[in-house]
Structure 1
Amino acid sequence: MFNKFSFSFRSKILLIVLLTGIIPISISGYLSNLKYNQLLEDQAHDITEQALKQGDGYISMYLSELEWLGTTIATNQLVLDTLNKSYSSIYDKVLDAGNIKQALSQYIYSRWDIERIDLFGFNGFSFTGGYSMYPIDESEPWVQEVMKRDGQPYWFFSENQDQDFIEYSRVISQNGQPLGIIRIMLPSYRLDTIIKKYQPNNTGFLFLIDKNHHSLIDSNEAVSEIIDRLDYSHNTKYQYVSLHGMEMLVTIHQLESVDWIFVSVIPREDILKGTGQIREYFLNTAIVILLITLTLVFWIIRYFTKPIKEVIGLMHDVENSNFTSRMTIRTNDDIGMLAKSYNRMVQRVRELIEKVYEQQRLKNEAQWSALQAQINPHFLYNTLDSINWMARMNNIPDISKMITALSMLFKLSLSKTDKYILIEEELMYIKYYAQIQEIRFSDRIHIYVDVPDSILKYKIPRFILQPLVENAVIHGLEPKEDPGEIHIKGGEYEDKVFFIIQDNGVGIPEERLKELLLPKPNDSDHSQHLGLNNVDERIKLLYGQEWGLKIDSIENMGTIVEVWLLKDFLKGGTSQ
């Protein structure tokens, strides 16, 4: 990663230390902050849930008192007698309504929270704080719901004359026979004074909704927006809702005694107020630790990299052809070993330069002799053989090996004049070519051949595979700094023989790959005719335009070239 930037060795180590310090601390701080926030949110939820349970218990007790009052009135003998009567005149109803009002006054005036108590008889009698000429409308939804409950209490929300009410209702019956309905009306704002005792904090708020998600108390714009955005199927302990650009922590609690739901809303920023100071403290501590660490590391690195700086200075002397400089050995550790290796290397380089100089002088003399004699190919082969023996005499095995491989290439070229050669002969070209390239690149390049014996006797046009291998070496592996490999695989499939040349070199850019096999104008340069385009054109001439090379390449990863040939054509040799 650092090779793309001109950093010194010291700078790279400092940068690594900085990264290895910042990254873990940052991740640790981030995860700690998340965990702390989670704990605060869980704690806020638990406190809110506890408060809501207390509120649930208080409201349940409060509603139980009103239900007991409703039951007391529903079983009052005067009420039962009134609802059992058959009336023949309005006067009797008015008279009984006065009696009922007097009997109920003790309940109404003894409680501050009851707005009104109504009685509706199925015999046509109606009492709504006094005589009412309007009988009960059994088609109203709340009446139908009360009748379904068969004497069980029913709590619901209603609006009457621009005022909201919480209403209790139940069926009045005697001996299993329904006689009418009692309704107790409570202004919703009076219940609001009760639940405000359990409000989460100063900035949060609490409200009640019924099973139809209708607000029973404090039906303002914010409450309506919260109700619309709540996910009532949420299975987690709490959920978040966005309100006017703020995240609100919402806790839902189902009341046990009635089909109502407590909804608590608290701004998230109020819960996490303390985390800002903790983050600032953590950040300041981390910065101080990093500064101390970097200071110590800088001085340590400076001490241990001083010999490396000395080596760099000596290497500059070598670049300027000064091979007499030597590094002083002060220790027996890795740096001392480096100094010894450097001194041996400089001495060896000096000897090799002198040796190469002498070899170059001999080579120039050999080239001059060859030009003087106007050598032909056979004479060149004999001369290469002579150079081979000279290399052996001078104990230069690499040059001897390269000369031998080159001589064998010349020998194979001179001994074969046919247009077609056996696959095994083409592979021999590649073998000797591979030897030369492996020596040239100091074993940085390796060429492997994996071709089955069953296809070695087929004939192919001369120089079909070797140019592809050469192209992979020159354009694929030579520009690459790391070691590279070329794999040559062959096989047969139905009536075809195929070869795959694969390298792990620098690859071909996508734009260049599209133009690679397009027809090109003739060029007098011989190497042009041994390239990919040349091989592709020769295959097309033999088989037709639908044949040719197939090239796949990924830049900086490698290239694959496929060659497909017909078996029957190959068996026919030059006659076809």
Structure 2
Amino acid sequence: MRKPKPKPFFSRSLMRTNMLLLSLLLVSGMLIAMFPFTYQLTKQLLRDSQTRQSRRLLEQTGQGIEFYLESMLETAEYLAATPETVRYLAGDDSAGAEVRRRLQVIAATRADYYHLVLLSTDGTLLTSRETVRQNPYRDFRREDWYSRAIEAGGEPIFTSSRVENLFFGDYPWVITTVKAIYDDGRLVGMLLIDLNYERIESILQATRQDDNRGYVFIVGSDGRLVYHPQQQLIYSGIKTERLDLAEEGAPDLPVMAGDAMYLSAHSDLSGWTMVSVQNTAALVSIPDAWILIYVLVGLAFFALAAILSWYFANRLTRPLQSLQTSMKRFEQGDLNTLADTNATLEIADLGESFNRMTMRIRDLLAESAATEEQKRQSELLALQAQIRPHFLYNTLESIIWMAEIGENENVVAMTSALSKLLRAQIAGGAEVVRLDEEIAYTNHYLTIQSLRYGERLDYDLVLEPGLEGIGVLRLVLQPLVENAIYHGIRHKTGKGLVRIEARSDGDHLVIEVWDNGVGFKNPDNWRHVNMNPDGGIGLKNVEDRILLFFGQQYRLEIESRTRTADDPETMLTTVVRIRHPKVTP
């Protein structure tokens, strides 16, 4: 009883569905793989955009601070340059009233000026505020800003954030502009302008972003804070700030510290450094609406891929299924059936070959009706060897399941071999052909069978040089190979081997087909089997054709023995031999 052939991994009836599913899985995998890349790209674009915006805001902040400091320097230059100021600091007390009046006028017009103070070198001071009194416990000449102003040689300097301790009982946090005043090259005193942060804070607030995204602070030339929006928390130790990154960061070179990005810009006028701090985690957070757009675009691509996959799957499988249907009708006896050739490449070529074959068969059947019965029977059997609808059906089925599992190279090889096999069969021509043509035809058949059987079948062709042009009966070698496969190799366990040898023996041509199959149990009974189980020609019919053409003295010779368990796998157990005179094709 013939064993059922195992189903391919992809069921033939579901070929279109399987192709669709594979395409959708591929597209889904690509979309899933692209999503992290797109997500990271979007985050990077958001980060770059926010960095550019931070640079612009930092530039605007620097311009605002410098414009403000320039106005304060103008005030300092005006006060330091008046003769009354120099006279007062030089020891002329009569100029003190006029100097105080000017200090009070300026303080009244500038709410951001906390103190305007003139300090003489002898330790006395004059301030715009009459209600304060000098702190007797502090000597301003020992302060850091005092020595720095002297080193500046009359150029104004700006301090970092500090506590003003010149006055008793009043210790505000201020930023101070200090200018040393000279009279004929002699230091006579200092001018101090204390700022109360109001104007600086308003400038920074005007360019400040959302609290969750970033802020700007200022660091002095001495590395200490000038201004910070959370300055009290920093001085109390509740909050810390990376002041060391102020010098490392630059507008074109951000410095990262955890989730914070530091950009800095230096002011040559004041020596201060403006630092922008951005929360990158908040910067690159993608809104839910954007994520929804990504999902919708992905679904749209998925739907488009499904439509295209269905279209191309139909376009590929419909011609194969149509050709298979035509083969089934042909196998059932409908010799007028024609395959649809509206396909491309090998499939269209295969359909055209099948159609030419069916038309040729009808013509040959009509011509053979007038011939002598025995010859007609022999030719008919030869034609049946060409037709082999069951062999064609099995071959097409193998092509389909190999296509389903993606063995594209094997599909092309088997389709090409089948096309050449059919083309050679329907070509017609003389009864005697060249030996190399007959071997080439048989080689196409062996290519198909080796692809069907896989590693279970191997074959070898040995042709003696110089015999290529010798004549041999057309379509006489392939049935012998078919017999070796179906009666010897198919029932054998392990790897099968078919060897074809052609040699010269005097005036005769000898062709031998060897196999290492199971062997004949009774070699004398082979003439009673007229057909192979799958519809091919039996050895008896091949011998009848040889007798008909060359005469009664030429017959098939068979040597065979039954394989035993101790035999090597490579041992050749059966040979079928054809021997006839050398003829010219």
TM-score after normalising by structure 2: 0.49
Higher relative contact order (CA 8 A, sep 6+): 2
Q: Which one has the largest radius of gyration?
A: 2
